[in-house]
Structure 1
Amino acid sequence: MAGDESFHHRSSLKQTNKPFKSKFTTKGELKIKNKGKVNRSIQYSAKRNEISKADRRNAAKIAQNKKRQEIININRLFSGTNGTPKIIAVVPLCVDVNSVDVTKKFFETVEKDYPVDNDGRPVTLKVERFKQKVQFIQCRKNVNEILDAIKVADYVMFLVSAEEEVDKFGELILLTIKSQGVPTVLTVVQHLEKIPNKKKPEIKKALTTYMEYHFPGEQKIYSIAEKNDCLTLLRQVTMQTPKQLVWREKYSYVLSENIEYDSNENVLKVTGNLRGQQLSVNSLVYLNNYGNFQIQKIEEDIRHDHSNKNGMSVDENSYKRTVYPDPEIQEDLISENEPDPFEGEQTWPTEEELMEAEERVKNMNNMDGVSIPKSVMTNNKEIRKVPKGTSTYQAAWIIDSDDENDSEDDYSDDDMKMEVNQESINNKISEWQSSMNANEEIEPEVNDEEFEELEIPNKDDLFDAQIDEEEEEKAYKEFIEKKNQANMDLEFPDEVDTPLDVPARERFQKYRGLRSFRTSPWDPYENLPVDYSRIFQFENFKRTKARIFKAMKNVSDEDEDKFYVQPGRRISIYIKNVPQSLYDNYNPKKPFIVFSLLPHEQKMCIVNYVITKHSECEEVVKAKDPVVVHCGFRRFVMRPIYSSNTRGGTNNVHKAERFLQPGRSTIATAYAPITYGPAPVLMFKYNENENIEQMPTLIATGSLLNMDTNRIIAKKIVLTGYPFKIHRKSAVIRYMFFNPDDINWFKPIQLTTKYGHVGHIRESIGTHGYMKCIFDGLINQQDTVCMNLYKRIFPKWNTEIYNDEKVDGEYVNVKEDEDMEM
């Protein structure tokens, strides 16, 4: 019965059993299960040397103490009444400002008399209130003088006017200073007292915005109309630590306060305070406009020791310390090698070898494994014996016995198979001919008089017969004229027209083809010019540079006492073998600076500069045009060559550029003295008739790159041809060459088209330069076939020291000329 059956209530909760764990889950199920989550892959790497927290804290403390000690040493250099003066370059930016007036204002502020006999040379102001000294370089409106002053200055004080705007000269100065390296900036406004009080805040705000644009940061405009304003500016200069220029601090330099010349021994004595690194008496020094010189001795004045803060008196007999060089370790003045003319002697090929080479070039048509009749190779016409009255067209179809033997060798395997298949047909034809001949009468023998010798022209002559040479030359000249009218050089600057009067294999014999511009091998020591034997090459430039800088820091105590002078001391450098003209042309208004040279920096090498053309420069700068280059503290006149700024491939080949193009960085290469970077580079236009009335033209700015002598600068040219007939992947190209020998010479080089196809030369057709080419696809009739050729180029040995003695004076503003034009 139903009542006897047990009743079961359903559970309120749904039972869920434990799912089965499968190792073979499908990809879809895993994707749904993970829902975008990705398991992190475990990376097995070498165990790092973990530094404990205490060690990290100790290392940070050591670095902090080192930095603090450097700042203390810098401040100690300037502290005290006998300390080294801080150098301020006073640079005018406007027409109505004057650096001498500003300097006199500072002297009046501390109640000192401005030197009456001062003629514009650097003047030192002793600020007893702040126990420091300040040295002013009163710059005139001369670009070279201002750049030289900035090279040694701790501060640059820009003078602006409240009445006049910054002119073109001021804009040029700001741009060149920013490119060369900017010390601590101070801005002083003149003639602000002439402005009504209501307009003063507006003018100050405008000047502040202008200086902020050029030198971002907290730029404050100072007015020196009142004594308190001058005193505030002096307090800031004396209390502030000046910013150091990285490229300058690895050298020793002296700003001359006075020079003397001994005409009997040709020795120049330069007196001033030593700055930068410690100076070795065995090193060379560099003088602007004249070059490198050796040091005879150095005298150190102990009375002006910056550690003598209280100015204690010193015995007169022991106030000087003199150091002398060691002739065995003193740097020499040798700047270039003496080339040995017999070192690169080679055996010149004989006439037989040259003839064999020419024969191989002519036989390059056999590269595809196809035998060619001798008549075709020698371009001689074939002579056949044919019946009288036979035309040349009919004679071409008559098979000679020699041709039958030659033709048997030309058959390929496919032709042999076709011959076997047609054997039965040929047998039937021969049987039919024999049956026909049996029914005919036997013909008498033919005499030789009924035959004649006829010249059979080859296929080149048949092709040339269809071309009129005068019309062909006329068509080519019209084509070139139209090409020039379309200004193709602008779009394709490397294209070169093949000359008609000179064979291409002679005109472009120094060029080569590269399958890959980045990876094709190119020996950097191949066909080097004679000038390469005059330069010095580093095995490892970076390692040499690191070794020299390390040796500068690790000088033994014995050598330091015997050959070195510490920075901050007042010294007198005796420079020997200085020409008399330097002292005769000396102008005290120009800053006279002595820079030391590091080891090997007097030697010549291949120097590469990375530069960028100035956006406002409208001059067309061509390769090998003379330019003035400011590199660090040295100036040269050189004719550099330019190349693209690329990393280069495995062959270190870089494309040469004919012009310095704006908007992109370029590498300038020239023969120049070695310089350990970093070093700023400024490039100006060179003018032989340069004078102070012409404002210099800034071409480019940049920095020193390296001394890579193996950098290959390849000049690229493109020979172009145009399709004449096209059949599938093959085409007849013309106007690239004009004789078969040139085609055979350049046959191994790969061809490209402007639409992206690649091909090669198959054979020459005719004698007018038409050639059959095979490509990887069907080319267009409007396409252009190109052949890229490359030749390594080298700079010329024409680097000279730039002498600016004729550019003396102050630049005259062109404002009057502009007003006349308006």
Structure 2
Amino acid sequence: MAKDTEATVHRTGLFKLPPKKHSSGRHRSKHAIAKEQKGKVGIKSKSQPKFKNLKKLARKNRSSQIRANKVGKISEEKRKEGQSPINITIISLDEAFTSRKIVEIFNLADEDAIIHVNEKRNISHLAVPRFKQRYTFFCPDTTSIISTLDFLRVSDILVILWPIETTDLHIAHSRLLDVITAHGFPPTFNLVSTLPASGKQRDSTRKALEKLMAPWAKDSRIYDLQGGSPLQILRQISTTRKIRSNLQKLKPYLIAENVQIIKTEDNSDSFSLLISGYLNGAPLNVNGLVHISGCGDFQLSQVVFENDPHPLKQSKKAESMEILRAIKADPLKQTQLDSEIIQDQMNTDQPEMDENEEKFEVPKVKLPEGTSEYQAIVESATMDESIDLNDIDINDDHQKELFKKERENRQWPDEVEAPEGMSARDRFKRYRGLKSFRTSPWNPKENLTKDYARIYKIVNFKRTRKLALEAAKQSFQSADECDEQFCTPGVYITLYVKDVPRSFENHISSTHSPLIVFGLLKNEHRMSTLNMILHRYPTFNKPVKNKEELLFQVGCRLFTANPVFSQHTNGQKFKMERFMPSSGSFCATVFAPITFPPSNVLVFRQCSPEKLQLIAKGIVLDSNPDRIILKRVRLSGHPFKVNKRTAVWFKPVELYTHSGRHGRIKQPLGTHDLMKCVFDRPLSVQDSVLMNLYKRVFPKWTYNAETKGKQFCISDEADDILEEEWSGKKDKVRWDEFMDDE
């Protein structure tokens, strides 16, 4: 009975058995592991810091090591800077309180202070044994912008005295602060002559000062000079960390305190120059070249080390200068002054422009009576690059026409009509068409000017720059190893500069501007094409034409040149700008000595023979002579007869219209500049046909570094003077005619 009640178990047949599972042993298979992870990647290391699980003693030891490394790094930086005094530039914006009076207050702050005044060079030395620190005060003439910038380039601290009896600065002072802002502020101390004693009046005065300082020194501390303690201000200056610029880190520099001219009887065209002062920045190589501000590049014959004339503690011994040792330059290792390549007249490998090429004359066009000379040239030439607007003697009409042309260039960029009385084949024979501005090839060695045979080209600019900067950093180690050709910073030395032309004698003897000597890096004396990335300064709104003479401050150099403006884009070809762009970045190309970035650039425009105006600022890009700058001409015409889709010399060039039609030239018609064209879509009578032609342009060799004897002051003209003059009733031209239609 029990056997009958038992359930029967069904067993599968021989041919219906399920497959056995794969036996992977005691571990999971790879497929099972991948299925569980679902694409997740396992961690390689823990995200928490390694020192988190350290014990207390190990953490304490680690903190002490970090502190010791930071202290060692700071002491190493101070040792490299040397024991030279702190260079302080004082600028007074208060007409009733001069910068010299500020120096007198600092000199009388401590009874034990040692004071030395160099009246010939307008330099004051102050030694405060209480703080174990020395100070050097510079009082530049704020009306001379070049002199002020020269002192700022070598200053460690900037002291500005703000006025308290006015709510608005003088326009010359505001322009000066704009230039200093573009140059870059060193660590700055903002002073006032005195603050009111009462609480409410003191707070209101402080708020008014903060509002006055906001555009240039926002959220800055204000120090009371007379009401407070000048000695505490000096203590703050001595403990402030020096933030050196790239120019001060990479190059040695010396502010001349004593200058002596030694004339030789053998060579009457040159003399030897002895310049004494404290060496700052990087170590100086006696076999390298030096640049004297306003003069140029020169060689050194020797460097003499002398005892410090302004010590922290005055010695009772003789005060005569004692020569410690001298380092003479090695003629075999000395860098030569080969800034340009001497052209070989027998060398025909250098491509250049054909001098015998026929030059076309601009045809004279009949114009109504009363038309000025400038308007006649503009109408006949239609913005031709061969006309230099600076050579035309015009005043307000020149500025008005520049505004007109800049407005036309913004509305119809690069559009030119074929001149009357001349075929387009002859007028634009140096131009060529490009199928694609971005991808079409252009040989950078083709049809170069003669000036390109005089310059140097660095094959690998990035590598050369890297080696030059590494050599500047290695100079500290070479100076520590007592290398005979290097001078450590912080010492008082005398430079023997040889072969200085006599034309610089008056500039060197003058006391109006400082004489500063900079050491140059390798290859920085060689001429090449210098490309700079610039931005128009916001306060400048006047047009600047291409190839107009401008004043550049690039690193330690100050020179004039005629730049070529071009677009700053990606690619191998760059379109020329006829005017300085009003917004965005652009590139300016000039012939100038090689300058390795990072280097700041300031661009000034000469408003009058003695006044400058800041128009742009930027940085150095590179020194590349192969930068292809193309001038574009959009040759325009109008449809003569439209027949659905059909509307030589430039026959292969593609045509296009403002409405987006594209076409090509089919055949010429007659001798009156007519042609038959085929377009992809029908045209309208109101449309205009355009053709792009390109020609490579080159900068002019107008580099001039001799700025001796020029005392430029900042322009105090308001930006809207021209607008006010043009809005008068006597002028027929209104300001709204020069603005965009928007």
Compared CA separation, residues 812 and 684, structure 1 to 2 (3 A): closer
1:249-289 Cα distance to aligned partner (Å, 9 max, x none): 10000112211121237221111111110111011111111
Question: Shift in Å at residue 312 of structure 1?
Answer: 12
- Give the conservation status (yes or no) of the 8 Å contact 2:613–2:715: no
Structure 2: stretches of 5+ with no match in the other structure: 1-36, 53-58, 266-270, 353-378, 384-403, 726-742
Question: Shift in Å at residue 603 of structure 1?
Answer: 0.7
SS at match of 1:591: coil
- Give the conservation status (yes or no) of the 8 Å contact 2:303–2:328: yes
CA distance in 2, matches of 1:299, 1:117: 21
Compared CA separation, residues 117 and 327, structure 1 to 2 (3 A): closer
- Give the conservation status (yes or no) of the 8 Å contact 2:116–2:126: no
CA distance in 1, matches of 2:717, 2:417: 46
Question: Shift in Å at residue 93 of structure 1?
Answer: 2.6
1:160 to 156, 159, 162: 162
- Give the conservation status (yes or no) of the 8 Å contact 2:351–2:449: no
1:427-468 Cα distance to aligned partner (Å, 9 max, x none): xxxxxxxxxxxxxxxxxxxxxxxxxxxxxxxxxxxxxxxxxx
SS at match of 1:549: helix
- Compute the RMSD of aligned alpha carbons: 3.9
TM-score by length of 2: 0.76
Q: Which has the higher helix share?
A: 1
Name the structure 2 match of 1:607: 530
Name the structure 2 match of 1:569: 491
Name the structure 2 match of 1:172: 175
1:328 to 329, 332, 336: 332
1:666-681 mapped onto 2 (5 Å cutoff): 666-681=586-601
Name the structure 2 match of 1:664: 584
Name the structure 2 match of 1:787: 691
Name the structure 2 match of 1:654: 574
CA distance in 2, matches of 1:544, 1:684: 30
Name the structure 2 match of 1:621: 544
1:498 matched to 2:503 = no
1:688-699 mapped onto 2 (5 Å cutoff): 690-691=609-610, 694=611, 696-699=612-615
CA distance in 2, matches of 1:789, 1:211: 51
- The amino acid of 1:205's aligned partner reads K
1:477-516 Cα distance to aligned partner (Å, 9 max, x none): xxx99x9999855411311110221221111011011111
- Give the conservation status (yes or no) of the 8 Å contact 2:114–2:128: no
- Give the conservation status (yes or no) of the 8 Å contact 1:94–1:166: no
2:342 to 338, 347, 363: 338
Question: Shift in Å at residue 327 of structure 1?
Answer: 0.9
- Give the conservation status (yes or no) of the 8 Å contact 2:117–2:124: no
Name the structure 2 match of 1:135: 136
SS at match of 1:542: helix
- Give the conservation status (yes or no) of the 8 Å contact 2:351–2:448: no
Question: Shift in Å at residue 332 of structure 1?
Answer: 0.9
Question: Shift in Å at residue 763 of structure 1?
Answer: 1.1
Question: Shift in Å at residue 781 of structure 1?
Answer: 2.1
SS at match of 1:562: coil
TM-score by length of 1: 0.69
CA distance in 2, matches of 1:488, 1:295: 54
Compared CA separation, residues 630 and 641, structure 1 to 2 (3 A): same
Name the structure 1 match of 2:604: 684
Compared CA separation, residues 510 and 98, structure 1 to 2 (3 A): same
SS at match of 1:554: helix
1:530-545 mapped onto 2 (5 Å cutoff): 530-545=450-465
Question: Shift in Å at residue 634 of structure 1?
Answer: 0.8
1:275-314 mapped onto 2 (5 Å cutoff): 275-301=280-306
- The amino acid of 1:330's aligned partner reads Q
SS at match of 2:148: helix
- Give the conservation status (yes or no) of the 8 Å contact 1:99–1:140: no
Compared CA separation, residues 654 and 62, structure 1 to 2 (3 A): farther
Name the structure 1 match of 2:735: none
CA distance in 1, matches of 2:291, 2:169: 34
CA distance in 2, matches of 1:271, 1:347: 47
Compared CA separation, residues 185 and 139, structure 1 to 2 (3 A): same
Compared CA separation, residues 567 and 295, structure 1 to 2 (3 A): same
- The amino acid of 2:133's aligned partner reads Q
- Give the conservation status (yes or no) of the 8 Å contact 1:179–1:680: no
Name the structure 2 match of 1:118: 119
Name the structure 2 match of 1:208: 210
SS at match of 1:300: strand
- Give the conservation status (yes or no) of the 8 Å contact 1:607–1:706: yes
SS at match of 1:214: coil
Aligned residues: 619
Name the structure 1 match of 2:74: 71
1:789-808 Cα distance to aligned partner (Å, 9 max, x none): 01000001111014151427
Name the structure 1 match of 2:662: 758
Compared CA separation, residues 41 and 246, structure 1 to 2 (3 A): farther
Choose 167-176 or 143-152, whichever is displaced more: 167-176
1:272 matched to 2:272 = no
- Give the conservation status (yes or no) of the 8 Å contact 2:297–2:525: yes
- Give the conservation status (yes or no) of the 8 Å contact 2:553–2:601: yes
CA distance in 2, matches of 1:40, 1:213: 58
Question: Shift in Å at residue 248 of structure 1?
Answer: 2.7
1:141-178 Cα distance to aligned partner (Å, 9 max, x none): 22111101100000000111112342122212222122
SS at match of 2:630: strand
1:383-782 mapped onto 2 (5 Å cutoff): 489-554=409-474, 560-585=482-507, 586-648=509-571, 652-686=572-606, 690-691=609-610, 694=611, 696-731=612-647, 744-782=648-686
CA distance in 2, matches of 1:665, 1:317: 53
SS at match of 1:657: coil
- Computing the radius of gyration over CA atoms, which structure comes out larger, 1 or 2? 1
- The amino acid of 1:675's aligned partner reads T
1:88-127 mapped onto 2 (5 Å cutoff): 88-111=88-111, 112=113, 118=119, 121-127=122-128
Question: Shift in Å at residue 727 of structure 1?
Answer: 2.5
- The amino acid of 1:106's aligned partner reads F
CA distance in 2, matches of 1:542, 1:313: 53
- Give the conservation status (yes or no) of the 8 Å contact 1:77–1:84: no
CA distance in 1, matches of 2:423, 2:574: 28
Question: Shift in Å at residue 765 of structure 1?
Answer: 2.1
Structure 1: stretches of 5+ with no match in the other structure: 1-38, 349-479, 732-743
Compared CA separation, residues 204 and 276, structure 1 to 2 (3 A): same
Compared CA separation, residues 603 and 345, structure 1 to 2 (3 A): closer
1:12-45 Cα distance to aligned partner (Å, 9 max, x none): xxxxxxxxxxxxxxxxxxxxxxxxxxx9877999
Compared CA separation, residues 196 and 626, structure 1 to 2 (3 A): farther
- The amino acid of 1:199's aligned partner reads Q
- Give the conservation status (yes or no) of the 8 Å contact 1:85–1:134: yes
- Give the conservation status (yes or no) of the 8 Å contact 1:623–1:659: yes
- Give the conservation status (yes or no) of the 8 Å contact 2:116–2:310: no
- Give the conservation status (yes or no) of the 8 Å contact 1:159–1:187: yes
Question: Shift in Å at residue 206 of structure 1?
Answer: 2.2
Question: Shift in Å at residue 229 of structure 1?
Answer: 2.0
SS at match of 1:574: strand
